[in-house]
Amino acid sequence: MGSSEERIVAVIMVGGPTKGTRFRPLSLNTPKPLIPLAGMPMVHHPLSACRSIPNLAQIYLIGFYEDREFAMYVSSISHELRVPVRYLKEEKPHGSAGGLYSFRDYIMEDNPSHIFLLNCDVCCSFPLPEMLEAHKTYGGMGTMLVIKVSAELASQFGELVADPVTKELLHYTEKPETFVSDLINCGVYIFTPDIFTAIQDAFIQRKDRANLRRMTSFEALQSATKALPADYVRLDQDILSPLAGKKELYTYETRDFWEQIKTPGMSLKCSELYLSQYRHTSPHLLARSNGTKGATIIGDVYIHPSAKVHPSAKIGPNVSISANARIGAGVRLISCIILDDVEIKENAEVIHSIVGWKSSIGKWSRVQGEGDYNAKLGITILGEAVGVEDEVVVINSIVLPNKTLNVSVQEEIIL
């Protein structure tokens, strides 16, 4: 555990509306970090993991969404965690490291000894106290969480080589075209405040390079300025790659679960992982067959206290039902996320699907996906306020907000 004088600050990078486009149609109405997984907004999972950090002074969310989109959530979560949580809005995207740097004065207000930096769109057990301890023994500027994945998947992430004994980061390449390593960057870091000097150096180097090009070639200048603005710094390419092998950065390997949440399909998978984690961390959040709702519950299921579920419904595994949803008699739900104010009428079935806010599914209807979380149409997604009329079957389809379906569809995107 940390000494009583040290103070730690956590920062969660939430991106903005131009990111998270693969999350459409759900992200059309709600910022991706606020879309529920296992009944809680995506960002809630890293946020609540921060509770385990000793001497935590503040949590900042940094993004380029409008302040009002986060205001309500931030004030309620601050209260719940009993740690000040604040949303800081970038006027424009500065990149994952540039965003952090642009708020260095706020972050340093508490004079922290360490800064945790977490990507919002990863799903894992966030072993933060363990990372802090490991980081202190390594003694470098930063430690990153890493995991082994299959060689086929590795190229979607930052691939790295670490010293097997000292755990020093020796080599780092972001999403390489040719295979480097099956050890990848999980997007969870701890740094000393020296990270700000490293980011500042990266800014200076970028400006110097641009100046050099200006003197030598007008064409090169054009491509350099077109590529990235001078105040845009990426943590991976601009900081981790050049600092590898300089005894500044170290790795902490997790053997627990880890996934990246870039698509709605992956949010169903991650909902399942978080629901199963609740068994150990928050068993009170899991529904039970003999609970007050009376319905038959199979496996891990979350039901918001305000949702109304008919006692003859059969629910699970991997189902989360958000506030004010109404689940009728004889309804069967398997592997799905049912968002706020949804109504599912008698004897309807929902399988491998996400049902958007205020949608309504008619009697004897079936909304289903085949359950391939990585395929574009591997699950069915109904956007906000979609109506599926009685006895209609919707399979492997994406339906945009405010549509009403009165005929059955399969493998379709309904615009």
Rule CB under 6 A: say whether 373 interacts with ligand GDD. no
Tell me the number of residues near ligand GDD by CB under 6 A: 26
DSSP E strands in 163-295: the ranges are 169-174, 183-191, 249-253, 258-260
Rule CB under 6 A: say whether 362 interacts with ligand GDD. no
Q: Which is nearer to ligand GDD, 30 or 365 (CB)?
A: 30
3-state secondary structure of 394: strand
Rule CB under 6 A: say whether 119 interacts with ligand GDD. yes
From 158, 264, 328, 387, residue interacting with ligand GDD (rule: CB under 6 A):
158
Q: Which is nearer to ligand GDD, 184 or 336 (CB)?
A: 184
Rule CB under 6 A: say whether 182 interacts with ligand GDD. no
Rule CB under 6 A: say whether 236 interacts with ligand GDD. yes
Token pair 């906000």 in the structure block, residue = 384
Shortest Å, Cβ 246 to ligand GDD: 19
Q: Which is nearer to ligand GDD, 263 or 380 (CB)?
A: 263
Rule CB under 6 A: say whether 94 interacts with ligand GDD. yes
Q: Which is nearer to ligand GDD, 23 or 302 (CB)?
A: 23
DSSP state at residue 142: E
Rule CB under 6 A: say whether 293 interacts with ligand GDD. no
Sign for the pseudo-dihedral over CA of 228, 232, 236, 239: positive
Q: Which is nearer to ligand GDD, 119 or 254 (CB)?
A: 119
Rule CB under 6 A: say whether 173 interacts with ligand GDD. no
Shortest Å, Cβ 13 to ligand GDD: 4
Rule CB under 6 A: say whether 315 interacts with ligand GDD. no
Rule CB under 6 A: say whether 143 interacts with ligand GDD. no
Rule CB under 6 A: say whether 260 interacts with ligand GDD. yes
Work out whether strand 387-388 and strand 404-405 pair parallel, antiparallel, or are unpaired. Answer: parallel
Which pairs count as long-range contacts for 43-49, CB under 8 Å and 24+ apart, including other chains?
A: 43/12, 43/14, 43/73, 43/120, 44/77, 45/123, 45/126, 45/274, 46/12, 46/118, 46/120, 46/122, 46/126, 47/12, 47/77, 47/81, 47/85, 48/81, 49/125, 49/126, 49/128
Token pair 């960002």 in the structure block, residue = 43
Shortest Å, Cβ 95 to ligand GDD: 5
In terms of Cα–Cα distance, which of 40, 14, 264 is closest to 117? 14
Provide Rg for the chain, Cα atoms. Answer: 23
From 9, 13, 342, 381, residue interacting with ligand GDD (rule: CB under 6 A):
13
Rule CB under 6 A: say whether 174 interacts with ligand GDD. yes
> Which positions from 185 through 214 interact with ligand GDD, judged by CB under 6 A?
185-187
From 8, 184, 351, 367, residue interacting with ligand GDD (rule: CB under 6 A):
184
Rule CB under 6 A: say whether 229 interacts with ligand GDD. no
Q: Which is nearer to ligand GDD, 95 or 383 (CB)?
A: 95
Which pairs count as long-range contacts for 243-247, CB under 8 Å and 24+ apart, including other chains?
A: 243/141, 243/142, 243/169, 243/198, 244/160, 244/169, 244/170, 244/171, 244/172, 245/168, 245/169, 245/170, 245/171, 247/140, 247/168
Rule CB under 6 A: say whether 19 interacts with ligand GDD. yes
Rule CB under 6 A: say whether 31 interacts with ligand GDD. no
From 99, 264, 316, 362, residue interacting with ligand GDD (rule: CB under 6 A):
99
Rule CB under 6 A: say whether 253 interacts with ligand GDD. no
Angle at alpha carbon of residue 95, lines to 260 and 112, rounded to 5°: 90
Work out whether strand 183-191 and strand 114-119 pair parallel, antiparallel, or are unpaired. Answer: antiparallel
Q: Which amino acid is at 77?
A: I
Angle at alpha carbon of residue 159, lines to 158 and 161, rounded to 5°: 135
Rule CB under 6 A: say whether 62 interacts with ligand GDD. yes
**Span of 38-46, 182-190, 266-274, 354-362 interacting with ligand GDD by CB under 6 A:** 182-190
Give the integer Cα–Cα distance in Å for 360 and 384. 10
Can you give the length of the chain in residues? 415
Rule CB under 6 A: say whether 383 interacts with ligand GDD. no
3-state secondary structure of 230: coil
**Span of 58-66, 294-302, 372-380, 394-402 interacting with ligand GDD by CB under 6 A:** 58-66
- CA-to-CA separations, 9 to 75, 113, 114, 126, in angstroms, rounded: 18, 8, 7, 15
Q: List interacting residues with ligand GDD (CB under 6 A).
A: 13-15, 19, 62-64, 90, 93-96, 99, 119-122, 157-158, 174, 184-187, 236, 260
